[in-house]
Homo-oligomer: A and B are copies of this chain.
Amino acid sequence: MAMLKFKHNGVIIDRIIDITELALRDAHQSLIATRLGIDDMTGACEELDTAGYWSIECWGGATYDACIRYLNEDPWERLRTFKKLMPKTPLQMLLRGQNLLGYRHYQDEVVERFCRKSAENGIDVFRIFDALNDLRNIETSVRAVKAAGGHAQGTISYTVSPIHTTALFVDQARRLQEMGVDSICIKDMAALIKPQAAYDLVKGIKEACGPELRVHLHVHATTGVTLVSLMKAVEAGIDCVDTAISTMSLGPGHNPTESFIEMLEGTGFSTRVDMEKVLRVKSYFTNVLGRYHEFQSQVTGVETEIFKSQIPGGMLSNMESQLRQQGAGDRMKEVLEEIPIVRKDTGYVPLVTPSSQIVGTQAVLNVLMGRYKVLTGEFADLMLGYYGEGPGEKNREVVEMSRAHAKKEPITCRPADLLKPEWDKLRAEALALPGCNGTDEDVLTYAMFPQVAPKFFADRHEGPRNLGKDPVTGVSETTPAEGHQGAITGPITYSVTLSGHHHKVTVAPYQ
């Protein structure tokens, strides 16, 4: 009954769609504030490695930060552990271009050393993005990754605005191709990409760049529509999609790996992923989220209001807390109306780290103090070009205010071109810290997290701290979350968050 098939252009397609598994990086970053400890991951690695994924995403800025800030884990050691346990499947990381995993631009030599060391320690695929889609901010890392033998994936930070047309993004893909990337990623961190938009964009990139250039699609699940967008991307020719094992999915996280595999049945598309192994990984992670309950995202269902406000869930809760600190918790609605105005003034920057924080904070200040009466240094820098340039036109009046406020001239060059060589200075400072082991890896930790590294170096010898707690007893433990449903014998206290209020809760047997 070929006439009943919905195949595009009537063609019966028989094509493999690859999958990148997100459980070990973005899934727990989105769902439990990046707190997942290495002990809660190692037991899944063999199944993950042999399940047939195109890659396993397992490293990035927030995981690196959480390792040294909360978990007393050396992120490089974590990476080596992953490589040892998953030798077959390419390991993937998310890299903020010239920012590396930190919050400022680094001089090219630092970028080059970071990419080389990451490849040496186990990263195979580098997904490289810039918040403003300024390709000058990713060219050094693309070059360095390729020099180190890695796969350089050039990224489009997806957003929706009057200037962000399909044609604009397709043009960005072509420029990334000219730069020499090995593949393209469409990165939709706020779950904004709707089915038709996904179809049009993937199709457009494939037509402009040719069928050989791989296109990957990264989407979150927050708005509830993006599994449909993945289906449409498949029909349009996508090569690989990002999903997360079901027990580590949905809400502000991603679409479930199992659902993606199952939904392709009968369509002529299929994956290489072994469902039996995936279900064993699911079983492994079944209790993990519960053990990190205190870190769990408040958002669990879908939130379609994001389509209007453009504000990702994480940004929303940040702003609410900023407002409450100022005793202005009741002015959230004004802030939500101010954000699109501020974003427009910046030339419609995509809202992703760090631009989301910069725009959100400025909107809060505008509401509390009057529009642009007070500017943050970061906002002025953004307006003056110190984060790079986006495709949109900025409000010239606000640029002028920024110049006056920051007492700095606007720039049009690549921001990193203003930086002097800094590696030797960073190295000297790092090596002076007690506990620094003298490696380039430690220098990079210090370079990217100068506030956090000293304490981490000093405490590192104590070994990893697992923050998972038994969901019933509330007791921390270091073994994976299996078989912890035994009877409790007396009242036990732990903290829970209900409707944003923290409570100390005592649990005792009921029957």
Contact = CB atoms under 8 A, between A and B. Distances in A.
Contacts of A301: 246-247, 249-250, 256
B195 A246 contact: no
Interface stretch (A6-14, A104-112, A346-354, A403-411): A6-14
Contact of A265 (B9, B194, B258, B488): B194
B200 A262 contact: no
Interface string A300-319: 11111101000000000000
Contact of A508 (B1, B196, B504): B504
A472 B485 contact: no
Interface in A232-264: 232, 235-236, 246-247, 249-250, 255-256, 258-259, 261-263
Nearest to A8: B6
Contact of A255 (B197, B224, B303): B224
Contact of A4 (B200, B491, B502): B200
A231 B232 CA distance: 10
Contacts of A247: 301
B501 A259 contact: no
Contacts of A249: 301-302
Contact of A499 (B224, B263, B485): B485
Nearest to A247: B301
A301 B286 CA distance: 10
A10 B7 CA distance: 11
A224 B224 contact: no
A491 to B, nearest CB: 8
Contacts of A305: 279
A315 to B, nearest CB: 19
Interface string A79-100: 0000000000000000000000
Contacts of A485: 499-501
27 contacts: A1-B204, A4-B203, A4-B204, A5-B196, A6-B199, A6-B235, A194-B263, A197-B265, A224-B258, A225-B262, A228-B228, A231-B231, A246-B302, A259-B304, A262-B307, A472-B498, A472-B499, A485-B500, A491-B506, A496-B507, A498-B507, A503-B507, A503-B510, A504-B510, A505-B507, A505-B508, A506-B508
